[in-house]
A and B are shown apart, each in its own frame.
Chain A
Amino acid sequence: MNRLAYFIATALFLTVPIFTASCGGTVTRDPNVLATTLPANPPTLNPIMAADETSSEVDGYIYESLLKLNNRTLEREPQLAKDYDVSPDHLIYTFRLRRGVRWHDGTPFTADDVVYTFEQIRNPKVDAANLRNYFKDVKRIEKVDDFTVKFVYARPYFKALEIISGAPIISKHAFDNGEDFNSHPVGLRPVGTGPYRFVEWKTGRHIILSRNDDYWGPKPAITGISFKIVPDGTVRFELLKKGAIDMDSMRAIQWVRQTQGTSFTDNFTKHKYFVPNYSYIGWNMRGPYFNDVRVRRAMTMLVNRDAILREILLGEGEVVATSFYKFGDQCDRSIEPLPYDPVKARRLLEDAGWADTDGDGILDKDGLKFSFTLIIAAGSPLQRSMALMLHEDLAKAGIEMEIRQLEWATMIKLLFERKFDAAIMAWAMPLQQDPYQVWHSSQVDEGSNFLGFADARADRLMEDARQEFNKSKRNKLYREFQQIVHEEQPCTFLFQMPSLVAVAKRFEHVIDYRLGLDVLEWKIGPWPKLIEW
């Protein structure tokens, strides 16, 4: 008897939601709102403290900087600054600010906000060490009048304008009320000048923005943006397919093979663009294995990058040979990646003195077995695939390689302590790259030069380039630098990966620019009823 009752109760539990959801339990979704995802809950929305892609993604709609990048020309053009001057010695930058701009709370935007922003960035008590690092050479920041700000640099640097004009400007009156800056509530409820204003942030669930109807510039057609926070990549893809979100990025195999059906192509358009990035397998040049250039070249020749690109990435991407953006003007595209050639690689290893003298199947040299550990980040299927292939190919060449899949925190720690033999990494970079922090010998012990690459000629080229304001001259220096890196092979460069994005068809005027899509200029076409899942 009881069993029957329980059975009925259970059955009810299962059917009730289906039943009620179909008549009254669901919410309709506003077609004028763009729904997309974030892969993690942002740690903060304070744009100065944000060291995280999720924060910058959201803050990009709320906050503005002095200048912005033009989608087509990729040149800087006015945003909060109306125009600017640079002194002939490239030390003084004067910005004249736009008048009539209001913060989302209605107060006017002035030079005080700009000065306050940079004071906070440079304040050692503020949790913005990464951003502050760029402003080490700034001598002072002056408010000339209510709408003019002057920056004085201690020494010229070709990226100075980009750095100053790219920093998000925060509101002085919102933050400066005596509360601690790092834990300030405005960090969780941002107040900006941008085209969208903050509405709601449910931790770990979503962030909602709505259009700023008092925006000083042209108002976007999309009335709101909702970011759903979904950590799992496969789930994000499922959400897209079921129509719960309007836009998301995909992996190559999803892009090529898993979005072929009409249920997908009827509802989405696909977009591809190349945000500057590159991945590499870095060889720690300090250790006993990779201090010889012949070994490093042999390693590169054991990685079949073309086949991986063709079969695993299904051709979506580019093999790169240098650290510079493959489609930018800094890159020396004449450098050919070293070919896949296991036979030659074995010969190189032999030349370097590695041979199997004790007959255990593993190469050795001076009593040291060629047995090292490769560290990769957990959660990246591509890195895992490549590591496993390398494991197999190196074993055939007589090299033992252990793979350690580490969560990000541990991996970073090992990189900083230089306690690794080899690592697969991916870097995102700005359009105009300064290789100084990653490749200069001064960064070997303390900075981001994890691999321990030190070359006097390369050092000089990078130092000169930093103070060279003539683009073509500077790029010539960088080309020479790239040749040196290529010769030395401190790492095996892998791929420039594309961003592969699907956008719901109701959005029109979606243009693929080199660096991405511009949501602000999208229009909205007609569409039937949408459900909020």
Chain B
Amino acid sequence: MERGSLNPSSQKYSALIWRQFKKSRLAVICLVFVAILAAVAVAAPFIANDRPVLMRYNGSWSMPVLKMPVALRGVDLYELMSNPPAGTWMLMPPIKYSPGSYDLSSVLAAPSLQHPFGTDGDGRDVAAQLVWGSRVSLSVGVVAVGIAVAIGVLLGLIAGFYGGWIDIAVSRFIEVMICFPTFFLILAVLAFVGPSIYNIMIVIGVTGWTGVARLVRGECLKLRRREFVMAAAASGARDRRVMLRHILPNSMAPVLVSASFGIAGAILVEASLSFLGFGVPPSQPSWGSMLSQAQQFMDIAWWLTLIPGSAIFFTITAYNLVGEALRDAIDPNLRT
């Protein structure tokens, strides 16, 4: 039985993982949460916008969310909403504000029916910013960690498997990268290339792979002495096959744990960069920059701190729990 699980054929293996994963109800809930978050991020323009999702005006239908029809250009929508002429009909998104639309007459308004999560220091709706901000946080987290894991697994496998000069060369490269104080390097590079969301993703990814690489290399060193790998190699399996089929799945557990924590870490790094003024451009709301703006109003506007903080907290926790359940599912030692 144990032998079998160590030499998994791909389809049976993923089905096995899914069966194991489903056993944890909390993990499934978290997975659903992550999926909903992703959906919210993708559909943000339809959820929080100051333009109607669908409207009929002067006898023609349009979707102003996607593109403002020419007929409506220069028309004050607020005016139109409060006093619609005959034949005009519109469907507004659930949150009737854009993340950028400000209202100086309701600066720092506490949560109310009109603004369920209150408004910020310029009278912008916090809920709208939260919905749009999920785009930045999630994409930075996922893409950056994707980059990091891809680089890390590849280099770690190669180094650990081949050993010798290749290992030495890759290890030197890992060492060079590890020796850079990561956050310091991110700051310096962002100062150079300018803090756009893509640059942040790339910089976090490119500076964050060494942990994964070292883990994989370490596992690899350990595994290649184990008899099943030696047996596979002895039976004439090609290097790539040994690496991908025998070593990779067995070194995946720590990588997945580290990747799930990595997403959380990338979201935190993004928030920290915003705190230091190196985040995404201000016109793009992100949870991190919301928090960093909130600190100046700590004692008079609790909702500004609490709400984006909770968003980050729940998201990261969800990712961690999913990752952990996945780890348990993959781990042959825990299988019952």
- Direct A–B touching in the complex (beta carbon < 8 Å)? yes
A interface residues (Cβ-Cβ under 8 A, vs B): 233-234, 251, 253, 257-258, 304, 307-308, 310-312, 346, 356, 359, 361, 378-379, 381, 384-385, 387-389, 391-392, 395, 398, 402-405, 407, 409-410
Closest to A379 in B: B277
- List the B side residues contacting A311 at CB < 8 Å: 104-105, 107, 123
- List the B side residues contacting A251 at CB < 8 Å: 296
* Bound Cα distance A395, B49 (Å): 14
* Bound Cα distance A25, B67 (Å): 66
* Bound Cα distance A204, B290 (Å): 29
Q: Do B278 and A378 touch across chains, with their CB atoms under 8 A apart?
A: yes
B194 interfacial contact with A, CB 8 Å: yes
Top 6 A-B pairs, shortest CB-CB distance: A378-B277, A311-B104, A392-B100, A307-B104, A385-B122, A403-B283
Asked, given contacts A389-B102, A402-B281, whether A234 binds B298 with beta carbons under 8 Å apart, the answer is: yes
B309 interfacial contact with A, CB 8 Å: no
A sample of 17 more A-B contacts (CB under 8 A), given A308-B104, A378-B277, is A234-B298, A257-B300, A258-B299, A310-B104, A311-B107, A312-B122, A359-B70, A381-B121, A384-B293, A388-B100, A388-B122, A388-B124, A391-B283, A402-B283, A403-B282, A404-B194, A407-B278
B101 interfacial contact with A, CB 8 Å: yes
Kindly supply a per-residue 1/0 record for chain B positions 185-216, scoring 1 wherever the CB is within 8 Å of any chain A CB and 0 otherwise: 00000010011000000000000000000000
- List the B side residues contacting A387 at CB < 8 Å: 282-283
* Bound Cα distance A389, B102 (Å): 7
For window 284-301 of B, CB contacts with A under 8 Å fall at 293, 295-300
Asked, given contacts A234-B298, A402-B283, A410-B191, whether A391 binds B67 with beta carbons under 8 Å apart, the answer is: no
* Bound Cα distance A447, B215 (Å): 55
- List the A side residues contacting B107 at CB < 8 Å: 311-312
Which of the residues A258, A388, A405 comes within 8 Å of B300, measured between beta carbons? A258
Which of the residues B67, B68, B278, B295 comes within 8 Å of A234, measured between beta carbons? B295
- List the B side residues contacting A405 at CB < 8 Å: 195, 277, 281-282
B74 interfacial contact with A, CB 8 Å: yes
- List the A side residues contacting B124 at CB < 8 Å: 388
- List the A side residues contacting B194 at CB < 8 Å: 404
Q: Smallest Cβ distance from A290 to chain B, in angstroms? A: 20
Q: Smallest Cβ distance from A137 to chain B, in angstroms? A: 38
Q: Do A346 and B74 touch across chains, with their CB atoms under 8 A apart?
A: yes
Q: Smallest Cβ distance from A304 to chain B, in angstroms? A: 8
Q: Do B282 and A312 touch across chains, with their CB atoms under 8 A apart?
A: no
Asked, given contacts A233-B296, A378-B278, A391-B100, whether A356 binds B283 with beta carbons under 8 Å apart, the answer is: no
* Bound Cα distance A311, B98 (Å): 20
26 example contacts (A-B, Cβ-Cβ < 8 A) are as follows A234-B298, A253-B300, A257-B300, A258-B300, A310-B104, A312-B104, A312-B107, A361-B68, A361-B73, A378-B276, A381-B121, A388-B282, A388-B283, A391-B100, A392-B101, A392-B102, A395-B100, A398-B73, A402-B283, A403-B283, A405-B277, A405-B282, A407-B191, A407-B277, A409-B191, A410-B191
* Bound Cα distance A141, B70 (Å): 71
- List the A side residues contacting B282 at CB < 8 Å: 384, 387-388, 403, 405
Asked, given contacts A234-B295, A258-B299, whether A361 binds B100 with beta carbons under 8 Å apart, the answer is: no
For window 45-80 of B, CB contacts with A under 8 Å fall at 67-68, 70, 73-74
- Interface centre among A378, A385, A402, by most chain B C-beta atoms within 10 angstroms, is A385
B interface residues (Cβ-Cβ under 8 A, vs A): 67-68, 70, 73-74, 98, 100-102, 104-105, 107, 121-124, 191, 194-195, 276-278, 281-283, 293, 295-300
- List the B side residues contacting A253 at CB < 8 Å: 121, 296-297, 300
Asked, given contacts A359-B70, A388-B122, A410-B191, whether A381 binds B283 with beta carbons under 8 Å apart, the answer is: no
Q: Smallest Cβ distance from A382 to chain B, in angstroms? A: 10
- List the B side residues contacting A361 at CB < 8 Å: 67-68, 73
- Interface centre among A233, A304, A346, A391, by most chain B C-beta atoms within 10 angstroms, is A391
Closest to A391 in B: B283
- List the A side residues contacting B283 at CB < 8 Å: 387-388, 391, 402-403
Chain A contact surface mostly: helix
* Bound Cα distance A385, B276 (Å): 17
* Bound Cα distance A381, B282 (Å): 11
- List the B side residues contacting A381 at CB < 8 Å: 121, 293, 296
- List the B side residues contacting A410 at CB < 8 Å: 191
* Bound Cα distance A142, B298 (Å): 59
- List the A side residues contacting B105 at CB < 8 Å: 311
- List the B side residues contacting A409 at CB < 8 Å: 191
* Bound Cα distance A388, B297 (Å): 18
Closest to A304 in B: B104
Closest to A395 in B: B100
* Bound Cα distance A304, B102 (Å): 12
Which of the residues B100, B276, B281, B297 comes within 8 Å of A404, measured between beta carbons? B281
Asked, given contacts A251-B296, A258-B299, A405-B282, whether A385 binds B121 with beta carbons under 8 Å apart, the answer is: yes
* Bound Cα distance A522, B300 (Å): 33
* Bound Cα distance A233, B293 (Å): 12
* Bound Cα distance A391, B281 (Å): 12
Closest to B123 in A: A311
* Bound Cα distance A29, B282 (Å): 42
Closest to B105 in A: A311
- Interface centre among B73, B281, B282, by most chain A C-beta atoms within 10 angstroms, is B282
Q: Smallest Cβ distance from B138 to chain A, in angstroms? A: 22
- List the B side residues contacting A308 at CB < 8 Å: 104
* Bound Cα distance A518, B234 (Å): 87
Q: Smallest Cβ distance from B98 to chain A, in angstroms? A: 8
Q: Smallest Cβ distance from A355 to chain B, in angstroms? A: 11
- List the A side residues contacting B123 at CB < 8 Å: 311
Q: Smallest Cβ distance from A40 to chain B, in angstroms? A: 14
Which of the residues A234, A304, A398 comes within 8 Å of B296, measured between beta carbons? A234
Q: Do B73 and A356 touch across chains, with their CB atoms under 8 A apart?
A: yes
* Bound Cα distance A341, B91 (Å): 30
- List the B side residues contacting A310 at CB < 8 Å: 104
Q: Do B277 and A388 touch across chains, with their CB atoms under 8 A apart?
A: no
* Bound Cα distance A257, B121 (Å): 13
* Bound Cα distance A389, B282 (Å): 11
- List the A side residues contacting B277 at CB < 8 Å: 378-379, 405, 407
- List the B side residues contacting A391 at CB < 8 Å: 100, 283
Closest to B280 in A: A405
- Interface centre among A311, A346, A379, A395, by most chain B C-beta atoms within 10 angstroms, is A311
Closest to B100 in A: A392
* Bound Cα distance A310, B295 (Å): 22
- List the A side residues contacting B296 at CB < 8 Å: 233-234, 251, 253, 381
Q: Do A389 and B122 touch across chains, with their CB atoms under 8 A apart?
A: yes
Q: Do B281 and A403 touch across chains, with their CB atoms under 8 A apart?
A: yes
Q: Do B191 and A388 touch across chains, with their CB atoms under 8 A apart?
A: no
- List the B side residues contacting A379 at CB < 8 Å: 277
Q: Smallest Cβ distance from A63 to chain B, in angstroms? A: 33
Q: Smallest Cβ distance from A230 to chain B, in angstroms? A: 15
- List the A side residues contacting B73 at CB < 8 Å: 356, 361, 398
* Bound Cα distance A388, B129 (Å): 13
Q: Smallest Cβ distance from A238 to chain B, in angstroms? A: 9
Q: Smallest Cβ distance from A441 to chain B, in angstroms? A: 31
- Interface centre among A233, A384, A409, by most chain B C-beta atoms within 10 angstroms, is A384
Closest to A378 in B: B277
Closest to B297 in A: A253
Closest to A241 in B: B299
* Bound Cα distance A405, B273 (Å): 12
* Bound Cα distance A389, B98 (Å): 12
Closest to B284 in A: A403
Closest to B70 in A: A359
- List the A side residues contacting B104 at CB < 8 Å: 304, 307-308, 310-312
* Bound Cα distance A407, B191 (Å): 8
